[in-house]
Amino acid sequence: MRTPPKLAVPPSSEAVTAEVRKLLRAAEVGSQLPTPKARILACARLVETGELDLAEYEQSFSEKASGFFYKAMKKVLGFLDRRTKQIYVDPQLHDSRKRFVTFHEVIHRVVPWQHIERTEDDELTLNFSCNTLFESEANYGAAEILFQCDRFETEARDYGLSVASALHLSDKYEASCHASLRRFVERNHRPCLLLVLKPTSRANTGGKTSFFIHHSIPSPPFILQFGDPFSQPYINPDHELGQILNNGSQGEIGLSDLKGFCRPCVVECFSNQYTLFVMIHPKDISPSRRTVLFVPPDFVESDQPNLRCGRGS
């Protein structure tokens, strides 16, 4: 299975979660959703200046960072100065991205073993594939603050297995669609799989599109039931799934489980305009604990021919 980048499950993940739980309690978050950023920042004794342009601080920051590994300020999305207890977040980021970057910097501040005087974060350190320990911990901790540890996955038990369910929770927690879909699947108690796809430039008959599997995100029960049904890196138009991807936003395919039985599975496609996501789960999945009603997302045409995908951030 093409495993996803380390959404950072660092060796210290349990310790990071313990620190986040302390922070949530100290900030008296209680049942509030989304996670109140102002309370978190106040509790962490940080000042967010999110409306300031980071570029304005290039000269002063460069002087402060003498001897510190310095990158071009235009690429920095977040910056924490422990001495002044200030966080700078790029104001041009999408709101959900701002929240993640802010909480990332908060983790640098509140985790006691990260004795860092200053940190600066760009697309590399904020990427889930970052394998630097402290950055991995900050990414993991930011997600724990955003989704309030196990609260998101507990609530997801009340929802059916669908893209619409994950997007509904995304709005509720004010998290990105990408992060919410990932969390919804990888911590689900039911068998489900999320494929993260990229279209290829390969020329196919009839102008159909082939897709590269960037990575797969399975729930633990999915692995136990199906193992790795998508071991090949590409999905071509003649594949069952390729036909759905080229002709519609949802459908059904057959997957062989580890006992050798072919199981009918539901397929749903969703695009956030940058990445194509495919959620797959057995058709005969057990119902959710209770029915939650909400308006499903609209579906709009994507840039890919013959592919209908949902909207999202």
pLDDT tens track for 193-246:
999 999 998 888 888 999 999 989 999 999 999 999 998 899 999 999 999 999
Quote the pLDDT of residue 46. 75
The mean pLDDT value for 169-198 works out to 94
pLDDT-based confidence at 77, cuts 50/70/90?
A: low
pLDDT-based confidence at 172, cuts 50/70/90?
A: very high
pLDDT, the chain, mean: 78
Quote the pLDDT of residue 116. 59
Provide the whole-model pTM.
0.77
Quote the pLDDT of residue 4. 47
Q: At 235, give phi and psi (nearest 5°).
A: -120, 115
Quote the pLDDT of residue 272. 83
pLDDT tens track for 131-152:
577 788 888 999 999 999 999 9
70 or 256: which leads in pLDDT: 256
Specify the domain boundaries for CATH 3.30.450 within the chain: 158-310
Q: How many CA atoms lie within 13 A of 45 on its CB side?
A: 6
Cis peptide before 34 (omega within 30 of 0): yes
Specify the domain boundaries for CATH 1.10.10 within the chain: 13-146
- Give the whole-angstrom CA distance, residue 282 versus residue 201: 31
- Give the whole-angstrom CA distance, residue 74 versus residue 76: 6
Quote the pLDDT of residue 74. 42
Buried b (16+ CB within 10 A) or exposed e, 270-288: bbbeeebbbbbbbeeeeeb
pLDDT tens track for 274-298:
889 999 999 988 766 655 555 545 4
pLDDT-based confidence at 84, cuts 50/70/90?
A: low
> Smallest Cα–Cα separation from 128: which of 274, 277, 7, 2?
7
For domain 158-310, which architecture applies?
A: 2-Layer Sandwich (3.30)
For domain 13-146, which architecture applies?
A: Orthogonal Bundle (1.10)
Burial environment of residue 108 by CB neighbours within 10 A (0 to 12, 13 to 18, 19 or more): buried
pLDDT-based confidence at 54, cuts 50/70/90?
A: very low
The mean pLDDT value for 299-310 works out to 37
DSSP per residue, the chain: --PPP-----TTHHHHHHHHHHHHHHTT-TT-SS--HHHHHHHTT-EE-TTS-GGGGHHHHHHHTTTS----GGG--EEEETTTTEEEE-TTS-HHHHHHHHHHHHHHHH-TT---SEEEE-TTTTSTT---HHHHHHHHHHHHHHTTTTHHHHHHTTS-SSHHHHHHHHHHHT--HHHHHHHHHHT-SS--EEEEEEE-----GGG---EEEEEEEE-HHHHHHH--S--SSEE-TTSHHHHHHHH-SEEEEEEE-TTS-EEEEEEEEEE-SS-EEEEEEETTPPPPSS----PPPPEEE-SSTT-EEE---
CB 208 within 8 Å of CB 246:
yes
